[in-house]
Structure 1
């Protein structure tokens, strides 16, 4: 059994920098021994749920600019899994969820920056899945529910995003988290740990500073996708919590 997780991928520098969060990732990865990885990434948006389907080595996609040259030198040569992609597709279809396959897409930085820290050998098959940021939380949870039970097969499900992600409000000189970002995460933790899906579905109305914390939903919805793939009888746990630049949250959960 390997629990589904939501991990903050934060800045692309997560792949190479040393910070409290990357130290956590390095250590946490050593405790995990998945047979395969399924990752929902905030950096692949699609109106139809899309699953990578290949047995080849993925291209490492550098979907960012203005970072140090050593970041662009990082390669993550993991392979995909056509057989797992087919299993996932059948599960989604069984739940009435429209789904298609993509045989060419590589791993974007929402995936490989985290996987590079967790599993540096790149020797575990990976299937990457897109997100539809404009579906409500209840529908995101339902997509995740289609994957329930895979954790019992030691297939690791990861939602890769960020809870507080407003790049216009970062403070480059901040050494402490901004209070409003903390208040939003505090509210989120309470609802996630109590599995209050009614409040989570209405987070934009009920959570303090929700619109400021989540100006656009693509980085937020992977939380619900990972959560949905678990079950309410398991109490979600905080894996890590820290902040960079005042407002960039590295809050991460295990479900």
Structure 2
């Protein structure tokens, strides 16, 4: 069974890095071989849940600035799947969740993960957008509509970051974790492992230092979507857990 997961996607630097984090992604890909992937990327935003449907090789979206030219020549030639896109659309519509199909290529919330987990680019990928302005409970409901896709060999991934505050990132990757980042990470980890939906639905007011950890929710809501898409009775596992650059949590879950 291909349990849904929440994965941090790293920065564009992740593309060429070899690190503890990229080694984790490599192991993850070796241990999980889906027929197709549905991925909610923090870098694909839309007011209405939008599915990028194609059977062709995906375009590349180099949605970052100021990097060396090699970062704009990276190719990840995975195909899409209109069949899987239609499965996602049908499930969302059945649950009264507004949805549309509109094509968009693979952004850096997608291809840095995929390049390390599935370097052969041989698994179809269906990107789906997030709306960071929806309440937390509605984010979870989007995931709940997709429960059971794993039975068809489809892996649901929420791609984001537990903490994502550029003003709090230390340039030194090995910088000591800041106290607020540890406290926020620990609170979220505890509530996720307990599947405390009520607390997580109000994380903005209940979690310590939530405003520092999540100044804008686009990188956090893929966690809630992935949580919702998991089977309610199954134990949740932590897949990876470090804090880099002083405040950037790489906490990853399997649901």
2:165 counterpart of 1:183: no
Q: Distance in 2 between matches of 1:109 and 1:55?
A: 20
Contact 2:91 2:145 in 1 (8 A): yes
Q: Distance in 1 between matches of 2:21 and 2:71?
A: 17
2:112 counterpart of 1:117: no
Q: Distance in 2 between matches of 1:24 and 1:68?
A: 25
Contact 1:170 1:247 in 2 (8 A): yes
2:153 counterpart of 1:150: no
Contact 1:41 1:129 in 2 (8 A): yes
CA-based RMSD of the aligned residues comes to 1.0
1:252 corresponding residue in structure 2: 252
Q: Distance in 1 between matches of 2:189 and 2:104?
A: 33
1:5 corresponding residue in structure 2: 5
1:1-255 equivalence runs, <5 A: 1-102=1-102, 104-173=103-172, 174-255=174-255
Q: Distance in 1 between matches of 2:241 and 2:209?
A: 18
Contact 2:61 2:108 in 1 (8 A): yes
Counting matched residue pairs gives 254
- The secondary structure found in structure 2 opposite 1:176 is coil
Contact 2:10 2:112 in 1 (8 A): no
The unaligned stretches of length 5 or more in structure 2 are none
Q: Distance in 2 between matches of 1:42 and 1:137?
A: 15
Q: Distance in 1 between matches of 2:69 and 2:28?
A: 27
Q: Distance in 2 between matches of 1:10 and 1:140?
A: 22
- The secondary structure found in structure 2 opposite 1:192 is helix
Contact 1:20 1:242 in 2 (8 A): no
Q: Please give the TM-score of this superposition, normalised by the length of structure 1.
A: 0.97
Contact 2:148 2:231 in 1 (8 A): no
Q: Please give the TM-score of this superposition, normalised by the length of structure 2.
A: 0.97
Q: Distance in 2 between matches of 1:35 and 1:178?
A: 40
The unaligned stretches of length 5 or more in structure 1 are none
